[in-house]
Structure 1
Amino acid sequence: MAEWLEIPLQYHTERKIIHVDMDAFYASVEIREHPELKTRAVVISADPRENHGHGVVTTANYVARQYGVHSAMPAAQALKLIPRDKVVFVPPHFELYRSVSAQIHQIFHQVTDIIEPISLDEAFLDVTENKWHETNTIKIAMRIQQQIIQTTHLTCSLGISYNKFLAKVASDHNKPVGRTIIRPEQAQAFLQDLPIDKFFGVGKKTQEVLHEMQVYTGGDLLKIPQMELIAKFNKMGFVMYKHARGVDDSPVQERRERRSIGKERTYNPPIEVNERVERELRTISEQVAAALAKQQMHGRVIVLKMRNSLFETTTKRQSFDQYVVSAEQIFQIAWQLWLTHGNLSNGIRLLGITVTELDPRSFENIDLPLFE
């Protein structure tokens, strides 16, 4: 049997990539509009005390995060974690967030048009060639950060490196108001000790298999032959092989296809009890999660579609600052949307769940230790 030839790697260390990530964006915008909230634990969600315990956390400021609150958590759980005299629930105002995001993107376009938006609060910029004719990437990053503060009175954290993978890693360090650079000569040393669960796209099941292979860090991953990883993990194996070597050859794409993955089911006779809705949403969530896994995607927006016996269709959506991927996450969010907006008075003929604002699982929100 002939041996497979290894796929050659493409090293693009000449690129200058900046990943801009706004700090607790939605919550920061609300605090800017209402300065009296600055010292409070601000949770962007409907108030469960006024909403029959329903609602899901969209995001939270850093005060709330210190109590363990995070995106996609049930709002009722956030209420249990934070002292009642400290917490403030603020319903999301997406039109306001979109308008502020547009201001930020105007700043990006002052330096480059090679911009890959990830969400309202996050984007990659390729500044290898730039309108400012500046060769020092750190100076570009500092100027972007300063202009965002001056224009919007909001802060961001920046990651600087020679590819998107490392720039994304870097931006998650020293939040908020952080600025971190990973140079080509630093990357391998950093990745050597990076726990394998911190590599983008490596979920719990993949971790279990890697642990069986005695792979716990980037250094361990580096020892596994390329074809062994590909045989075990298919495309994700090659991604891990590249990332262990600080390689990511994907360019910053100016226009990104906004895709969605969803499933829906129709019912005859119509559903008339909540328990059945709960079972159906759990089944649909599992189907959507399986489809996401097959495409190696995850997203930031969950959309619940409902149609009653009068053929009136309603859609409700929830946006997050973290990626949603598991069936349980999808179900919990869809179920909270149903409890908040669902209505059985005319029966339910159709239920659907869609995940939008998708990205490859090679992009993931993580918190990492990095060089001081």
Structure 2
Amino acid sequence: MRTVPSILHLDMDAFFASVEQAAKPSLRGKPVIVGGLGGRGVVSTASYEARVFGVHSAMATAVARRLCPNGAYLWPRFVAYREISEQVMAMMRELSPLVEQLSVDEAYVDLAAGPYGPALAAVPPAEGSEFVEAIAQDLRADIQHRTGLTASIGAAGSKLMAKIASEQAKPDGLVLVAPGQERAVLGPMPVRALPGVGPATEQALRRAGLLTVAEVADLPEEELVRLLGKAHGAGVSLMARGLDERAVVPDRDAKSVSVEDTYEVDLADRDRVLHELDVLAARCVRRLQAAGRSGRTVVIKVRRFDFSTLTRSETLRGPTDDERVIAATARRLAAQVNLTGGIRLLGVGVSQLAEYTQEDLFAQAAAEAAAEEAAQAAAQAEQAASLEPASAPIPTASAERSLGSRLWMPGQDVRHEEFGAGWVQGSGVGRVTVRFETPDSPPGRVRTFLVDDPALSPAEPLPLRPPVG
């Protein structure tokens, strides 16, 4: 066991909502909710001002709107979040090569493996704790200086306690648990505070009269194994006593890459389902290629109108990142599924990942088939035009969507040729409302335009702070 709390757990405070408030001066100090905006949307992050009204992550957006009708409801801007995340993770890697990123806004770092490690090992535990506290406070200050955002940090001798400490530190704080104090900190907490203790485990413990972590820690491990099963019971017993020897593991290897969408209106048309699978396959491939990976098994996920969910998969001869191959495979898998009644959710994923792509006969065949199909379509169009020059094809629903008015999402970055940078506040009835402001400007003025105004265009996110140094 460590004698110095040299493992840090960092968690950005209300990350998505905080980025939006930092980017949009008019939203600072106001309730901001980021997530899906449709009838089936789910809250991803709520600012602390919104949480006062009872809004929280994973809540249905429709419920959030009833609780907080005057909040700003924004579509996620993942490009902006990733840029800030990369800055924060780079700062953590300056402290140690052992950084285990759990999500875009959360990570562990092991200070003992970095440049401060020898100094931490050379001083008494009390001085080592003070040194760790100073490092953590400097990290929080650097993050706020470079991004304008706040982070909460927990420091402890294990990942378990560092995570629990960061929860206690929220928002914008630092909590340090000295090695040896684990049981004193954990004891009064409810059993749900332990990782892996969900509603079912909580109920099993409650039936046995175990309500606090201290009561679980005092129970012999054999009793917990009897209550919860061998693996889970032994794990809960160790956690309740504050024992956790898991190492901080950098660059956790993903086992799969997938994307999915939930639709506001059930998909009832097979052609529309196939079109959406093509869109999902393209998004999945972009993620694969961004990670420098390929995959051998293609998986589709289908949730039907009655909430029944099923998956189908097909394993290819070799790993691929070819969009045509993955889309064609997803379409073949969809042919195995009964789509009558309507589809609520679709997903496309790739597993059995590799760091290379083999020469794939599937990809070559798909390319040849696509070229032949295009040539046949062109020939048919030419023939039809010669026979009936005055006739025009009837556009499909998907074509109408692609050729119709641009879709402006609340929170989206835009630029106007006359008024400069701004963001979409709302749209509807052929109009889009834009607030013109930047991260370093005062709250801006609101103007309304036609949705097809040629002077208005999508834009990349502006940096929250000027580049440092």
TM-score by length of 2: 0.54
Q: How does 1:123-134 map to 2 (within 5 A)?
A: 123-132=107-116
Q: Tell me the equivalent position of 1:150.
A: 145
Question: Which residue, 264, 278, 286 being the options, matches 2:305?
Answer: 278
Q: Larger Cα Rg: Structure 1 or Structure 2?
A: 2
Could you tell me whether the CA contact under 8 Å between 1:45 and 1:75 is conserved in 2?
A: yes
Query: Is residue 257 from structure 1 mapped to residue 253 from structure 2 by the alignment?
Result: yes
Question: Which residue, 157, 161, 185 being the options, matches 2:156?
Answer: 161
For structure 1, the 5+ residue unaligned runs are 1-10, 265-269, 288-306, 315-343, 357-372
Query: Is residue 66 from structure 1 mapped to residue 52 from structure 2 by the alignment?
Result: yes
Structure with the larger RCO, 1 or 2 (CA within 8 Å, 6+ apart): 1
Identity %: 33
* SS of structure 1 residue aligned to 2:108: strand
Query: Is residue 91 from structure 1 mapped to residue 75 from structure 2 by the alignment?
Result: yes
> Residues 188 and 59 of structure 1: is their aligned pair in 2 closer, same or farther, counting only changes over 3 Å?
same
Q: Tell me the equivalent position of 2:331.
A: 311
Query: Is residue 244 from structure 1 mapped to residue 264 from structure 2 by the alignment?
Result: no
Could you tell me whether the CA contact under 8 Å between 1:161 and 1:167 is conserved in 2?
A: yes
Deviations 1:113-148 (A, max 9, x none): 110000010000000242256531101101110110
* SS of structure 1 residue aligned to 2:101: strand
Q: Distance in 1 between matches of 2:66 and 2:171?
A: 25
Q: Please report how far the alpha carbon of residue 63 of structure 1 lies from its aligned counterpart in structure 2 after TM superposition.
A: 0.6
Q: How does 1:1-372 map to 2 (within 5 A)?
A: 11-14=1-4, 16-48=6-38, 53-82=39-68, 84=69, 86-132=70-116, 135=120, 136-231=131-226, 232-260=228-256, 277-279=304-306, 281-284=307-310, 311=331, 351-352=346-347
Q: Please report how far the alpha carbon of residue 354 of structure 1 lies from its aligned counterpart in structure 2 after TM superposition.
A: 7.2
> Residues 191 and 230 of structure 1: is their aligned pair in 2 closer, same or farther, counting only changes over 3 Å?
same
* SS of structure 2 residue aligned to 1:180: strand
> Residues 207 and 46 of structure 1: is their aligned pair in 2 closer, same or farther, counting only changes over 3 Å?
closer
TM-score by length of 1: 0.68
Could you tell me whether the CA contact under 8 Å between 1:15 and 1:126 is conserved in 2?
A: no
Aligned AA (1:161): A
Q: Please report how far the alpha carbon of residue 283 of structure 1 lies from its aligned counterpart in structure 2 after TM superposition.
A: 3.6
Could you tell me whether the CA contact under 8 Å between 1:15 and 1:128 is conserved in 2?
A: no
Q: Distance in 2 between matches of 1:240 and 1:311?
A: 44
Q: Distance in 1 between matches of 2:231 and 2:3?
A: 23
Q: Distance in 2 between matches of 1:312 and 1:87?
A: 44
> Residues 213 and 14 of structure 1: is their aligned pair in 2 closer, same or farther, counting only changes over 3 Å?
same
Q: Please report how far the alpha carbon of residue 23 of structure 1 lies from its aligned counterpart in structure 2 after TM superposition.
A: 0.4
Q: Please report how far the alpha carbon of residue 65 of structure 1 lies from its aligned counterpart in structure 2 after TM superposition.
A: 1.1
Q: Distance in 2 between matches of 1:69 and 1:355?
A: 34
* SS of structure 1 residue aligned to 2:235: helix
Q: Please report how far the alpha carbon of residue 351 of structure 1 lies from its aligned counterpart in structure 2 after TM superposition.
A: 4.6
Q: Distance in 2 between matches of 1:311 and 1:42?
A: 39
> Residues 312 and 94 of structure 1: is their aligned pair in 2 closer, same or farther, counting only changes over 3 Å?
farther
Could you tell me whether the CA contact under 8 Å between 2:159 and 2:246 is conserved in 1?
A: yes
> Residues 45 and 165 of structure 1: is their aligned pair in 2 closer, same or farther, counting only changes over 3 Å?
same
* SS of structure 2 residue aligned to 1:157: strand
Q: Distance in 2 between matches of 1:54 and 1:244?
A: 38
> Residues 185 and 34 of structure 1: is their aligned pair in 2 closer, same or farther, counting only changes over 3 Å?
same
Could you tell me whether the CA contact under 8 Å between 1:13 and 1:163 is conserved in 2?
A: no
Could you tell me whether the CA contact under 8 Å between 1:12 and 1:249 is conserved in 2?
A: no
Q: Distance in 2 between matches of 1:58 and 1:259?
A: 24
Aligned AA (1:68): G
Q: Distance in 2 between matches of 1:98 and 1:354?
A: 21
Q: Please report how far the alpha carbon of residue 56 of structure 1 lies from its aligned counterpart in structure 2 after TM superposition.
A: 1.5
C-alpha RMSD over aligned residues: 3.6
Deviations 1:177-197 (A, max 9, x none): 110011123221122211112
Q: Please report how far the alpha carbon of residue 42 of structure 1 lies from its aligned counterpart in structure 2 after TM superposition.
A: 0.4
Q: Distance in 1 between matches of 2:145 and 2:137?
A: 12
Aligned AA (1:116): E
Q: Distance in 2 between matches of 1:132 and 1:120?
A: 25
Aligned AA (1:176): P
* SS of structure 2 residue aligned to 1:250: coil
Deviations 1:203-241 (A, max 9, x none): 111112112222111221122222332343222211111
Q: Tell me the equivalent position of 1:325.
A: none
Q: Please report how far the alpha carbon of residue 277 of structure 1 lies from its aligned counterpart in structure 2 after TM superposition.
A: 2.4
Q: Distance in 2 between matches of 1:355 and 1:192?
A: 43
Could you tell me whether the CA contact under 8 Å between 2:5 and 2:179 is conserved in 1?
A: no
Q: Please report how far the alpha carbon of residue 13 of structure 1 lies from its aligned counterpart in structure 2 after TM superposition.
A: 4.3
For structure 2, the 5+ residue unaligned runs are 121-130, 261-266, 274-302, 313-326, 352-469
Q: Distance in 2 between matches of 1:209 and 1:246?
A: 21
Q: Distance in 2 between matches of 1:312 and 1:91?
A: 32
Q: Distance in 1 between matches of 2:223 and 2:177?
A: 29
Deviations 1:318-347 (A, max 9, x none): xxxxxxxxxxxxxxxxxxxxxxxxxx99x8
Could you tell me whether the CA contact under 8 Å between 2:35 and 2:73 is conserved in 1?
A: yes
> Residues 189 and 132 of structure 1: is their aligned pair in 2 closer, same or farther, counting only changes over 3 Å?
closer
Aligned AA (2:27): L
* SS of structure 2 residue aligned to 1:117: strand
Q: Please report how far the alpha carbon of residue 105 of structure 1 lies from its aligned counterpart in structure 2 after TM superposition.
A: 1.1
Q: Distance in 1 between matches of 2:251 and 2:191?
A: 31
